Chains A and B, each alone.
Chain A
Amino acid sequence: MLSTPVLEIDGLTVRYGGTLAVDALDLRIGAGETVALLGSNGAGKSSIVNAALGLFRPAAGQVRLLGRAPAEAVQAGGVGAMLQHGGLPSEARVGEVLALVRRRHADPWPLDDLAATAGIAGLLDRGVDALSGGQRQRVLLALALAGAPPLLLLDEPTSAMDVAGRQAFWTTMRGLADRGHTVVFATHHLDEADAVADRVVVVAGGRVLADGTAAEIKSRIAGRTVRFRCPGTRDGLAALPGVTGIGGDGDLVELATTDAEATLRALLGARTGLPDLEVRGASLEQAFLHLTTDQTTANGALR
């Protein structure tokens, strides 16, 4: 199913001091794919993006961008990126910044169309220091698009945008994907991944936890959490119907389940008391961090 890989990551390991941010991660992304790296904060998404761009030397592993070393691919203008800690120069005008970057590309995106696509047509004469957070993000998008690169790597690109800004941004991204650009973006919003990506890679603890279509991933995450106090043994809880994982601190038990009703029926039948019982929608963390590798493999969702 994969065409020529534009991003190949083999055994990527990233450490910050003693913390393992990315743990021997493998990932292949083919030309034309739209891929969401979905994970909570600290899952390792930014480390993956930054390593893919060659912003630091990983502790182990190899990254190839468009078949080259990351820095070379960036220099050749093959990649456009929005970073989480990227920024714009003070005391410069938007148009000047854009011109500086466009001039470095052999075949830059025509200015009028670029400005319209990124939604900054009216901002070119504006000073950078006078931009709102959403406007800054759009200028950063324009910089990423300046060379009309085949691959876009975006690290939480909508974090500074309001709802309308987000919608406009993802409409733009879908348009780019339709034109054949490969779009890879990190996000912690399931709805963003679902709305834009045709492939979702769930990242937690620096590893790929699940990898599939948005629909597949969503069906797994749209589960529930059943919580209650359980001072005694936890034997058998994992085998209850619908349960995909167990977590919780102390005598508090959290069951991740794909079928809360079936799980509850079985629980009520098996136990005399369920103190402090709660059923709620599972967050990303709850849906995925509780999964152990074994259980996930048993459920057949890991590829």
Chain B
Amino acid sequence: MILKKVAIMLDLSDMDQILLNYVRRLHENYQFEAVSFVHFMEVEEMPEEILSLFPDLDEPVDEMIAEEIQEQVTETFVEGVNSKIYVHTGGDMQKFLGWLEQSDFDLVVLGKKAALHGSGIFSSKLVRLLDANTLFVTEMARGDIHRVMVPIDFSSYTNKTLKVAREAAEVLQAELLPVHAVKLNLHYYPLFKDKKELEQHFIKSTRKKFDKFKEKLKLKEDCKCVVLEEDAHVSRALYDQATFNSADLVVIGNKGKADSNDLLIGSVAERLISHEKSIPVLIVKSSN
């Protein structure tokens, strides 16, 4: 199993319930070895004027948060899970990232709200700064997963991404749908005059490249090749593909071929998480 140690980021909003339910469904199949319920306190300290409103408050705020989370977890989550609750105090994102990296989670689950604004900054920071696989769960996420779409570009990230996606499909007994999107580029023009011919060429070469992975990773499925017009966006096309094929989960590598080293997350992954409103996206980080 690749995904064994899981951390769920809870922010004490309504989203928590959705997250917990979703991960519980995953856990039924995955049987995670350990699940941590994590809350990051975004402020250094609660201001006095707020605390003074509660004269009856007889315990530190972080302990109270932990209790609150504990209650939610006992309500929603199955028993007998090796679980832990952790509230990070101090408001220092850098230190929190350090803790996360040290804890060595295989998967970090984040909530992604379509409607509520303001709370998205924490998630968007985390996914860009953290060197761990991240799953974005949307409000409308479906718990039953029938189809896992995995966009690939045959870069150095593809192998690990495919492995995670294959595991997900196997564990969840879902169908795996590898997709490769290519753009029709003008620089092919003198070599291929006919657009049809060029499309055929792409489809053929995709199949050839994918066959290597198919053999190595023992996959049954073939890779779907989507050919785009030059001015189309790959992320847009992938989004359309996911909707069109009614995928329930998208697994994507954190970077693609064309992305530079400075970026902690590639442009397609970036667009997918900011546009994808209903389908959860799992970003596979493979810097290690």
Do A and B make up one complex?
no
Interface of A toward B, CB cutoff 8 Å: none
Interface of B toward A, CB cutoff 8 Å: none
